[in-house]
Amino acid sequence: MEATYRRDSEHNYMILKSDEKLHGNEYQVRMLLGNEIPGLLRCKLRMIDGEAYFYYDITSRQPLSRILGQHPASSEDIRAIASGLVKALDGIERYLLAEEGLLLEPDFLYMDVETKEISFCYLPFFQKNFSEAFRELAEYLLKSLNHEDDQAVLWGYQLYSGTVEENYHVSAVVRKLYRTDGSGKDKTVKREIEVLEREEAESSKEAEVPRQSLPNPESLKSPVCQSLTGQEHLKKHRQYRYILEMISGGVLLAASMAGLVFCGMLTLTQAGGAVFLLAAAVFYAAGGKGKKRQRPPKQGQKRQEERPAEQEAQGGVQQWKEQKEKICDFYEEAGEEIYGQTTLFREGMPGDAPVLLSIHAEQRGNAVVDEEKFIIGKLKGKVNLVLDLPPVSRIHAGIERRDGKYFLTDLNSTNGTFLNGERLEANEYRQLRSGDEIYFAGAGYYFKE
């Protein structure tokens, strides 16, 4: 099924043509147009030359196929899809609509990137087996999973395994996944995790040779070594040696005093005072050899003894990073490249990456287009170039590199993307050339290769 896209002054629409001859007064059409059904995109109908066209409002939403093309499906994505599908199934059941009209192709599932809310397109009298459509969606999600997210893997395989059963019901499969207990945690997934942990524990008991596990990731979060440094060991050693020397000397002195008392050269009072002074000296040494009281440092000035500690900590950080890179992949963040920083130069990127030169340099800086898919918007953490301006949409536009050429597209923004003064249609791609003027709503740039 082919979709076209249109824009009016405030909204972006995806348009689907119905294969059925409709008049607009059919029950399913009236229920769809006259009600706000939870889980479904709002739409309106236009009759053109006797053909029915449904206009779905996709403003500020992105298709699932585009989102999962940028990063693999996380457990949050799977839960959002399951939640949206449960909501949509409940909505169409309430209004007595046929479930076959619910489109499950990834191109027709739209997500609000900020809230993670999924909405579905409903096309009245659409003729496709709903169970088969759901099986295809489950298979698509299975291939798109983030395999570093254990919960996403469990949910993805659970969805797909439910579709291989004979005469299965889509609603039952999704609700089984989305069933939660009072604490909001998924019971099914929790049970499967417990089974996996139990099996792993039993297998480890059967093994005679104790296995050497990698360091606990939690222990790697602190870059400063928890054991004593070489300087601290030396300091402790000197302190203990000093105490032992004092004790040995004290024993010899006490024996000498006892001999002097025996010979009548000292009284017991004089000998006791000498022993007391010796004990005070030993106690004083055990407390740190008499640390000198220092004045508090001036504001902005650090103590000298803190500087070696800072340097040592920095060395510990560097050593920790090197160990992490050698031991495990915790430092790699696969699947998140599309949401990097704005002007970060990355290794492996072409040295001649194009630049967006700000037309208003006093208001905002330039940006290097250093990704295959470079996203512009104001949703921090989800875009490459953050434009925190009221007219700019959360996910506003994108620049995509194809075969060495760069293309500009508007990603269903509210106030539009303009190339050399001409507004782009939603999801329209225009090739960029050096010197082109681009406006993301009110933010202007020159494209320079």
Q: What is the dihedral sign for C-alpha 132, 137, 140, 142? A: negative
Asked if residue 201 belongs to a domain, the reply is yes
Asked if residue 54 belongs to a domain, the reply is yes
pLDDT at 312: 44
How far is residue 236's CA from residue 82's CA, in Å, rounded to a whole number? 60
- Report the run of H or E that residue 192 belongs to, with start and end: helix 187-206
How far is residue 436's CA from residue 447's CA, in Å, rounded to a whole number? 5
Dihedral class, residue 60 (left if φ above 0, else alpha if ψ from -120 to 50, else beta): left
407 SS3 class? strand
Asked if residue 53 belongs to a domain, the reply is yes
Same domain assignment for residues 173 and 103: yes
Residue 241, judged by CB atoms within 10 A of its CB (0-12, 13-18, 19+), counts as: exposed
Same domain assignment for residues 160 and 266: no
Structural domain ending residue among the three candidates 156, 191, 206:
206
Asked if residue 295 belongs to a domain, the reply is no
How far is residue 49's CA from residue 47's CA, in Å, rounded to a whole number? 7
CATH (domain of 381)? 2.60.200.20
Radius of gyration of the chain (CA): 35
Mean confidence (pLDDT) of the chain: 75
pLDDT tens sequence across 144-164: 999 999 999 999 998 998 898
Claim: this prediction has a pTM higher than 0.85: no
For residue 1, pLDDT beyond 70: yes
Asked if residue 84 belongs to a domain, the reply is yes
pLDDT tens sequence across 200-255: 555 544 444 343 443 443 443 434 334 444 445 445 556 666 666 667 766 776 77
Per-residue pLDDT, averaged over 400-412, amounts to 91
Same domain assignment for residues 243 and 101: no
What DSSP string runs through 247-304? HHHHHHHHHHHHHHHHHTSS-HHHHHHHHHHHHHHHHHHHTTS-PPP-PPPPTT---T
pLDDT tens sequence across 78-131: 999 999 999 999 999 999 999 999 999 999 999 988 888 999 999 999 989 999
- Taking alpha carbons only, the member of 75, 86, 133 closest to residue 106 is 133
Same domain assignment for residues 183 and 275: no
Higher pLDDT, 25 or 345: 25
For 382-436, strand residue ranges (E) read: 385-386, 397-402, 405-410, 417-419, 422-423, 429-431
Same domain assignment for residues 202 and 234: no
Same domain assignment for residues 180 and 272: no
Q: What number of CA atoms fall less than 13 Å from residue 319's CA on the CB side?
A: 10
Q: How many domains is the chain partitioned into structurally?
A: 3
| Contact indicator for 141, 81 with CB cutoff of 8 Å | yes
Long-range contacts of the stretch 435-438 (C-beta < 8 A, 24+): 437/359, 438/356, 438/408
Asked if residue 401 belongs to a domain, the reply is yes
| Contact indicator for 42, 53 with CB cutoff of 8 Å | no
Same domain assignment for residues 268 and 201: no
Structure tokens at 9: 């002054």
- Taking alpha carbons only, the member of 132, 105, 137, 135 closest to residue 121 is 105
pLDDT tens sequence across 322-337: 444 443 343 333 333 3
Asked if residue 214 belongs to a domain, the reply is no
pLDDT at 240: 61
Same domain assignment for residues 152 and 234: no
pLDDT tens sequence across 190-199: 554 455 455 5
Same domain assignment for residues 346 and 263: no
Same domain assignment for residues 199 and 236: no
CATH (domain of 152)? 1.10.510
| Contact indicator for 82, 162 with CB cutoff of 8 Å | no
Give the domain range for residue 109.
1-206
How far is residue 102's CA from residue 88's CA, in Å, rounded to a whole number? 8
Same domain assignment for residues 63 and 188: yes
Asked if residue 352 belongs to a domain, the reply is yes
Same domain assignment for residues 236 and 350: no
